[in-house]
Structure 1
Amino acid sequence: MNHHPALTASEVAALWNAYMQNTMAYRMIQHFATVNEDEDNNELIQNSLDACGFVIDGVKTIFEREKQSVPIGFTEEDVNLKVSRIYSDLFALRYIKYMAAFGTAASASFLELLARMDVRDFFTNASNKFISLYNEITDQLLKKGAFIRSPTMPPMEKTEYLQNESFLSGLLGRHRPLTAIEIAHICKNLETNSIGRTLLIGFAQTAQLPEVRTFMDRGSQIAQKQETVFREIFLEEGMPLPSTWDSTISKSTDAPFSDKLMMFHTLQLNMISVTAYGASIAGSMRVDLGAHYTRLLTEILQYSNNGVKFMIYKGWIEQPPQNVDREILKNKH
């Protein structure tokens, strides 16, 4: 059939979220591009800007064609390209790698909700761009000897089925060894908290408003505490700890980013952590791990809720597209 159906609510949500996240990332990476001193990174940083730009332009084109309001997102007013660096060039690479992985997952996760071919094609192409960027950055980090690998474990000598419920809670008060899946989740959550902690320390150092500085300080403390929880699990397991991600932060107090952008970015990191902890609970069969994740998840949700309230108070949160209020329409008569 030759017809042009309207965008569904799911399609609008996917496009709107993609625009907000990529305008934010674009401004972050613009700063990294301006202060970068490692020539090996130039092409990778430009490729990351191109990937974000592809999403921004694509969403704008679709929304304008459909007479949808284009979000404000984050603009040139949210980044100051005249100030000195806050983070190292190596951290910039790790940040881009992390965001490329998130961009890939976010693009792919929406596909099952999309019907229109043009929107599906758009997110498929966006996902492919972020996958390519992730692989390029990973190759570069490996070449520099700076890729943080998860711990290794001895190969399985045989396959077998579980025989009793002690696999869930341990045997005689002792936890059974971690599975490879549980190790993978812990490593992922270590990386998220490490990157978040480094970002928030820099944000606290450069934020203009005292309330924002306090919020960032609190966030970096939460991230450090949660990192410690995961590291202690590995120590109890007798496993080697992954190397610490680069957290070099300069002494500059000049703000490259607006307080609005930094608050939004922090809430995005919280959202990523909540999603990751949910997946970790599903993938972890040891009862103690589930208890850890549930506790840490509650802490992040409370912290994030405080951030949302402050951003609403400041008028910094754009209203997402929403359905019409039928009660208001009825009362117009």
Structure 2
Amino acid sequence: MEHNPKLVSSEVAALWGAYMQNTMVNGILQHFNSVNEDAESTDLIQSAINNCDYVVKEVIRIFEKDNHAIPIGFTQEDVNLKAGRVYSDLFTLRYIKYMAAVGTAAAAAFLEVLARSDVREFFSTTSQLFMELYNNACELLLKKGAFIRSPTIPPMEKAEYLQSETFLSGLIGKYRPLTAIELAHISKNTETNSIGRTFVSGFSQVANSPEVRKFMERGTEIAAKHETVFREILIKDGVPLPSSWDSTISKSIDPPFSDKLMMFHTLSLNEVSVAGYGAAVGASVRKDLGGDYTRLVAEILQYGDDGVKLMIDNRWLEQPPQNVDREALRNRRV
């Protein structure tokens, strides 16, 4: 007997999220493509757009097959291709590298909760596409001498076991040196905040709504503060600071994106930060780092909550798929 299983909740969530993210990123990339002046980046930008198009078309195909409503997502109405440049071409490359890494990780993470073969095949292909895009972006950044590397540490002289619990908390008034994994997370989260700070700083300049501009200004301040926290940890540990990521922003005030798209993108970056901090807490054995991450997570969670309220007030936040409200159905019969 042929078995045709319907989509389960985890599959619907993965597909819906992929549609929202890729229609949003596609709009960003279209603007970058329209203002791009770097011939070496043309193929990479087009590849990124093609990836987004593939994801969107496949989600539509799977949803239509199961009679699921297609999300609204983001359309050409959310992008103004006549608007001038806001960000540099180098920032475009770093954005593609960053979002390709996020896309690869998200697609791979969802595989664990997918059962239907066509959905698993789709996310497997998606992960491969974005992994290839990530590697191509890395190669181009390396070629341009613009790849920002994590801090270096001396080679280990020998492998050995720990002999003291001071490894967890350090001596009084002093902490032990950072481990390689702790350094890796600090570097990654510094980059996340740098990307976010540059984006929301530009958003605050071009947004139409005064409320949105104010929200973006607050985001810029939070991201800058978090970058400073991470850099100070490196300084105290005597670790050479990595070069700053490019954050050049033009003087343009003509919005290339709708306020709705900019708000959604900011909240998406916020979610990535929360996930990154959570992973760092699990991997950071030094107790002071756990305290720092916990404090910073609380701040960005509050920022994200305020952003959701702002989007709801403006009717910009699309309702995600959810279970049936049985109580509401019962009340309708009263």
Q: What SS does the aligned partner of 1:146 have?
A: coil
2:331 is matched with 331
Partner residue, 1:108: 108
Q: Deviations over 1:122-146 (max 9, x none)?
A: 0000000000000000000000000
Distance 1:274 1:283 in 2: 14
Q: Aligned-pair distance for 1:160?
A: 1.2
Alignment-derived partner of residue 94 in structure 2? 94
Query: C-alpha displacement at 1:332, in angstroms?
Result: 4.0
Q: Runs of 5+ in structure 2 lacking a partner?
A: none
| Residue of structure 2 in register with 1:82 after alignment | 82
Tell me which amino acid in the other structure corresponds to 1:56. V
TM, length-normalised to structure 2: 0.99
3-state SS, counterpart of residue 115 of structure 1 = coil
Alignment partners' CA distance in 1, 2:285 and 2:327: 47
Q: Is 2:194 the partner of 1:227?
A: no
Letter in 2 for 1:330: R
Number of the residue aligned with 1:259 = 259
1:279-320 CA distance string (max 9 Å, x none)? 000000001000000000000000110000010111101100
Q: 2:274 — aligned with what? A: 274
The residue type paired with residue 304 of structure 2 is: S
Q: 1:216 maps to which residue?
A: 216
TM-score (norm 1): 0.99
1:18 corresponds in structure 2 to 18
1:90-169 mapped onto 2 (5 Å cutoff): 90-169=90-169
Q: Which runs of 5+ in 1 are unaligned?
A: none
**Structure 1 match to 2:56:** 56
What amino acid does structure 1 have at the position aligned with 2:157? Answer: E
Deviation sequence 1:166-205 (CA, Å, 0-9, x none):
0011123211000000000000000000000000110000
Alignment of 1:11-50 (within 5 A): 11-50=11-50
Distance 1:216 1:20 in 2: 21
Separation of aligned partners in 2, 1:192 and 1:170: 28
Runs of 4+ in 1 over 2 A off after TM superposition: 328-333
Q: CA RMSD in A?
A: 0.7
Letter in 2 for 1:150: S
Q: Deviations over 1:77-125 (max 9, x none)?
A: 0000001100000000000100000000000110000000000000000
Q: Displacement of 1:330 after TM fit? A: 2.8
SS in 2 for 1:322: coil
Structure-to-structure mapping, 1:167-186, within 5 angstroms = 167-186=167-186
Alpha-carbon distance in 2 for matches of 1:328, 1:82: 46
CA separation in 1, counterparts of 2:113 and 2:166? 39
- 1:3 aligns with 3
**1:19 positional shift:** 0.3
Deviation by residue 1:36-87 (Cα, 9 ceiling, x = unmatched): 0000000000000001111011101100111000000000000000011000
SS of the residue aligned with 1:242? Answer: coil
Look up the equivalent residue of 1:37 and give its one-letter code.
Answer: E
Partner of 1:301: 301
Deviations 1:230-255, CA, capped at 9 Å, x for gaps: 00011111111010000010000000
Give distance in 1, aligned partners of 2:95 and 2:30: 13
Question: Structure 2 counterpart of 1:198, which letter?
Answer: T
Q: Distance in 1 between matches of 2:121 and 2:182?
A: 34
SS in 2 for 1:81: coil
1:162, CA displacement in angstroms?
1.4
Q: How many residues align?
A: 333
- State the alpha-carbon separation in 2 of the partners of residues 72 and 329 from structure 1: 25
